[in-house]
A and B are shown apart, each in its own frame.
Chain A
Amino acid sequence: MSLLEIRGLTASVGDKPILRGIDLTVNAGEVHAVMGPNGSGKSTLAQVLAGNPAYEVTGGSISYKGQDLLEMEPEARAQAGIFLAFQYPVEIPGVSNAYFLRAAYNEVRKARGEGEVDPLEFADIMEEKLAFVDMDPGMLSRSVNTGFSGGEKKRNEILQLAVLEPSLAILDETDSGLDIDALRTVADGVNKLRSADRSFIVVTHYQRLLNYIVPDFVHVLAGGRIVKSGGKELALALEEKGYDWLTEGEPAGVNA
């Protein structure tokens, strides 16, 4: 059984169809890159997987660990091991990062039938995880993402990933807005978290990130469908030739 099976997925925002029939299979331990031009539906796919209510699924199915993912609330998906690193992490003034992280960590543990941890135990866990993303412990006492720089926000997303230890991590344009040093730090963090029982879907506009997080598969999304799939060399071809050679003669809205 595959970890994730997406079949004929269609989704809209308001009345506007964005995804027009996505098929994608992800097995345990695989890293899939999803690339594509602006407006191709990359971020929509990421949001739909996490269960954002702003996106309406109009057809198709998603099976995750054999369960019907579309029937699950966002928190149930997270508790079942799905993690979305947001392109634009949300600021939550008044809730400290440490408080939020421990609340999330305990909710996920509860769902797995494990006991909750107290602040002292959690502090030990955090010490190790902070090192992963080379993050200043001072960030923990600040309000979630509030006043963080772009790089700090993305690092914070990877920190959450490290803490929650998901089975499927979706990185939504984690490289956007990062300078090369921050990009390396974030990519290093992700690479340390790669394992045989953790899969990744890396959504990106640029091939650059894939120099650091080397994928097993690359998919090109255009007009709401996957128009080409291949190995990591496909990303290099895209960098060289752009997206046009793939999307020419592929009018949007025609189902394959």
Chain B
Amino acid sequence: MTAEATIDRVVTAATPFEDAFRTLIEGDGAEAPSQIQSLRSAAFDAFRRLGFPTTKNEDWHFTSVAPIVEHDYLHITTPSGDVRRAALTPFLFGRSEWHTLVFVNGRYAAELSNTSGLPKGVKLLDLRRAWREAPQLTEQLGRITRYDDHAFTALNTAFMHDGAVLRVDADVEVEMPIHLLFVTDAVAAKSMMHPRNLIAVGRHAKATVIESYVSLSDAVYFTNAVTEVSVADGATLHHYKMQREGMRAFHVGTIETKQARDSHYISFSFATGGSLTRTNIYTSLDGEGCGATLNGLYMLDGEQHCDHQTMIEHTQPNCFSRELYKGVLDGQSHGVFNGKVYVDPIAQKTDGKQTNNTLLLSDKAQIDTKPQLEIFADDVKCTHGATVGRLDEQALFYMKSRGVSRQLARELLTYAFAADVLETIEQTSVREELERMTLRRFTTVADER
């Protein structure tokens, strides 16, 4: 009892955040509209009540957030850092013409962003400008996520101060992807960032959004991002999350989506950076005829810990969901995959499929994989499967017997393992970039598959 009580006190200690919160609401944060101010306060109350999750919490069983909690972080509320345009090149998929909002150390950087040429019917702006100039665009904030029982979402909501707001009007098809690029440099050391994004895709509209989280230093810092998404009737959103933060960074990123009738939400989460990272991707299929595709790839090495939790809620009949997550784990890395699928009693004819495959490249790498299906309807088709394997020794020998070096053979087989999930990426530049990263040491023949 005593030990438990002690643990609880440590991890629920909100004290270091109290000062930062007071500084925000009394300082730079005071400019936010009054309903945002109340939302922040309600969320901070929720965070105080919830505290950080322990591994006793079913949703955090395989991931201890202690390494995140044991640091004190400064909340950066003013522009900082020294990031030049050229430094961003490696993260732009070779496509600097895309509509891009850049955030440096958590704050919008207009001079690095590119919002020219946005089609009519598309609004893309930073959160603070939206609060000033178009507060109606931010009315949905806090209505999609559930901060009252998610500590990190509560923390983000309390500290929300910057981020991206995107609205695509009905029937508009945005041809070029919209890239939200969150970059940190050495100035981010010992600080925390709580990016808050809001994406609304109108009826029969179509868009592609990429959220990138990248570092230009190996500083210890904490990103705690939340993105709220609504996809209206018959709309389609391709949503890519690219997490390539520094090897000492902490990252918690939550995406919560609400889908209306006949909408399609196609998500891909790529995670390769950070020391301790957690990605939550939740979607709720709230109308008939929806489809959700949640795919992902995580590639880890060293002592990295990377956790993905997905939740697909089938609340209406005749929807489908497809989920394929793959992990490549080297060194002493630890991967976690928890895929939840909930099927409401009225969600008849639900068609769901979930797969998690892991390739272990070393004896010390570890994966915890946990499918979690809760099905309350009786006329549904839901399957799940998980595999864990190593590189095929026969295939390695076969390739080496053709003169291919051990290193290249390993890379090719690793690439081959990841290939089918990468092939699901529709956006060519993103797919090619990820293929290159999967084959990162394989430079001479990477232009052809």
Q: Which residues of A contact B (CB under 8 A)?
A: 50-54, 73-75, 77-79, 83-84, 86, 89-96, 98-100, 102-104, 106-108, 111, 116, 119, 143, 160, 164
Contact = CB atoms under 8 A, between A and B. Distances in A.
Nearest to A107: B403
B437 interface: no
Interface stretch (B85-93, B126-134, B411-419): B411-419
B415 A104 contact: no
A104 B402 contact: yes
Nearest to A99: B449
Given A94-B416, A107-B408, A160 B402 contact: yes
B5 interface: no
B437 to A, nearest CB: 16
A86 B395 CA distance: 12
A50 B394 CA distance: 13
Contacts of B397: 52-54, 74, 90
Nearest to A105: B403
Contacts of A103: 404, 408, 412, 445
A254 to B, nearest CB: 32
B444 interface: yes
Nearest to A160: B402
B429 interface: no
A169 to B, nearest CB: 12
Given A75-B406, A90-B395, A100 B412 contact: yes
Nearest to B412: A95
A119 B415 contact: no
A84 B401 contact: yes
A90 B417 CA distance: 15
A75 B404 contact: yes
Interface residues of B, number: 29
Given A99-B445, A103-B408, A74 B413 contact: no
B398 interface: yes
A148 to B, nearest CB: 14
A212 to B, nearest CB: 24
Nearest to A111: B403
B399 interface: yes
A158 to B, nearest CB: 13
Contact of B403 (A92, A96, A108, A116): A108
Contacts of A51: 400-401
Contacts of A98: 448
Contact of A119 (B395, B404, B412, B447): B447
Contact of A75 (B403, B416, B418): B403
Given A73-B400, A90-B394, 11 more contacts: A52-B397, A53-B393, A74-B400, A75-B400, A86-B401, A90-B395, A94-B417, A94-B419, A100-B399, A100-B404, A111-B403
9 interchain residue pairs of minimum CB distance: A94-B416, A78-B403, A104-B402, A94-B419, A90-B398, A74-B400, A108-B403, A107-B403, A75-B400
B444 A116 contact: yes
B405 interface: yes
Contacts of B447: 119
Nearest to A53: B397
B398 A89 contact: yes
Contacts of A93: 416
B445 A106 contact: yes
B293 to A, nearest CB: 20
Contacts of B392: 90
26 contacts: A50-B401, A51-B401, A54-B393, A75-B400, A75-B404, A78-B400, A78-B402, A90-B395, A91-B395, A92-B398, A92-B399, A92-B416, A95-B413, A95-B416, A100-B399, A100-B402, A100-B404, A100-B412, A103-B408, A104-B404, A106-B445, A107-B402, A107-B405, A119-B447, A119-B448, A160-B402
B175 interface: no
Interface in B381-399: 392-395, 397-399
B420 interface: yes
Contacts of B412: 92, 95, 99-100, 103
Contacts of B418: 94
A79 to B, nearest CB: 5
A107 B400 CA distance: 10
Contacts of B403: 75, 78-79, 104, 107-108, 111, 164
